[in-house]
């Protein structure tokens, strides 16, 4: 039987209450949202927080709102809500693409977008999604709110810019004209972490050329966006050859490792193929959104 080490437990009644609880319990306390990463680690004693501050009751952090120039997503929005949201389906289909391949439906009933981003597992999907969409991260701490870019927030595997007593409260996804997005992942079986995954978001200029492009990958050792691949696409009119060459540049930028899920060579191949597909699909969706 896997049982975690003992811990103190408190249920937060508001964001400010959660921050106060984190300060009161001290450095060895942690927030718990859906808990589907943290609890398994605690059961294996890979994590031994002295106290958990439960934020599952914070309905104030559960929303998806279309604000015109951006969409605001509350940090406690659960994975199944990302999949079912009509606002996201219309604005950013990449959330449903990625949501459907996160773990399984039961896990998605508990998992949250804020929890996924703060856990920052290297095989996790929503970090790549938020990176390609130029998402702004809103953190709240004892002295108020601050906003960060994903590049500032996401520092690498299991590491973010959030301080111990800060809570990720909201994600703001900018809305761009003539835009499309897509995500594709290869997993060994349903519910497993990615062997490799790739996401892309594109917005087209009025003449049909690529105005903005974001590419992001999961599980292949690339925390930033592949700058050379994006530069090759920006300002160009899309073609199969152009997309293929950008996908090749992406494969050159990744740094996967051999592990149980596959060899580095196989993952590099997947990075190229999946990137090719998601760029093409994002462009097709952007064209569809034009009409």
Partner 1 sequence: MTHISVEINGQRVEREVDPRVLLVHFLRDDLGMTGTHWGCDTTNCGTCAVLLDGRPVKSCTVLAVMADGHAVRTVEGLEVGGELDPIQQGFMEEHGLQCGFCTPGMLVTGRALLDANPHPSEGEIREAISGQICRCTGYATIVRSIQWAADHPAGITNGQAEKEEVPA
- Binding segment for partner 1 (CB under 8 A), chosen from 40-48, 117-125, 173-181, 262-270, is 40-48
Distances in Å between the Cα of 283 and the Cα atoms of 37, 177, 179, 215, 255 are: 34, 12, 8, 12, 26
Going 44 to 99 to 82 to 91, the CA torsion angle's sign is positive
Assign residue 55 a region (left: φ > 0; alpha: ψ between -120 and 50; beta: otherwise): alpha
> Is there binding between residue 50 and partner 1 (CB under 8 A)?
no
Nearer to partner 1, 35 or 216 (CB): 35
Nearer to partner 1, 100 or 178 (CB): 100
Size of the site for partner 1 (CB under 8 A): 30
What letters, b where the CB count within 10 A reaches 16 and e where it falls short, cover 111-131? bbbbbbbbbbebbbbbbbbbb
- Binding segment for partner 1 (CB under 8 A), chosen from 8-16, 64-72, 253-261, 277-285, is 8-16
All residues at 6 or more sequence positions from 17 whose CB lies less than 8 Å from its CB, including other chains: none
> Is there binding between residue 26 and partner 1 (CB under 8 A)?
no
- Binding segment for partner 1 (CB under 8 A), chosen from 1-9, 60-68, 175-183, 250-258, is 1-9
Nearer to partner 1, 17 or 212 (CB): 17
> Is there binding between residue 36 and partner 1 (CB under 8 A)?
yes
Q: What are phi and psi of 47, to 5 degrees?
A: -130, 135
Count of CB atoms situated within 10 Å of the CB of 59:
9
> Is there binding between residue 8 and partner 1 (CB under 8 A)?
yes
Residues near partner 1 (CB under 8 A): 1-9, 11, 35-36, 39-40, 42-43, 52, 54, 56-57, 80, 103-107, 109-110, 190-191
């Amino acid at each position: 039987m896997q049982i975690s080490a003992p811990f103190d437990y408190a249920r937060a009644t508001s964001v400010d209450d959660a921050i106060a609880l984190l300060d009161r319990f001290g450095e060895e306390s942690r927030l718990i949202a859906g808990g589907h990463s943290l609890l398994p680690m605690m059961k294996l004693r890979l994590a031994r927080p002295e106290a958990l501050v439960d934020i599952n009751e914070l309905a104030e952090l559960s929303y998806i709102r279309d604000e015109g120039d951006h969409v605001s997503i509350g940090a406690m929005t659960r994975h199944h809500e990302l999949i079912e949201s009509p606002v996201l389906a219309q604005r950013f289909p990449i959330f449903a693409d990625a949501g459907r391949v996160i773990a399984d439906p039961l896990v998605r009933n508990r998992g949250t977008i804020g929890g996924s981003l703060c856990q920052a597992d290297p095989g996790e999907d929503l970090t790549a999604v938020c990176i390609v969409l130029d998402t702004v991260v809103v953190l709240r701490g004892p002295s108020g709110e601050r906003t960060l870019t994903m590049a500032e927030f996401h520092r690498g595997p299991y590491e973010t810019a959030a301080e111990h007593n800060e809570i990720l409260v909201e994600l703001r996804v900018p809305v761009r004209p003539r835009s499309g997005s897509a995500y594709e992942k290869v997993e060994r079986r349903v519910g497993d972490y990615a062997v490799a995954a790739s996401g892309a978001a594109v917005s087209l200029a009025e003449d049909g050329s690529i105005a903005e492009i974001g590419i992001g990958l999961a599980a292949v050792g690339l925390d930033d966006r592949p700058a050379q691949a994006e530069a090759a696409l920006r300002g160009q009119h899309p073609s199969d050859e152009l997309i293929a060459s950008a996908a090749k540049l992406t494969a050159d930028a990744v740094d996967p490792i051999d592990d149980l899920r596959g060899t580095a060579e196989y993952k590099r191949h997947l990075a190229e193929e999946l990137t090719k597909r998601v760029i093409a699909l994002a462009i097709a969706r952007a064209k569809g959104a034009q009409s």
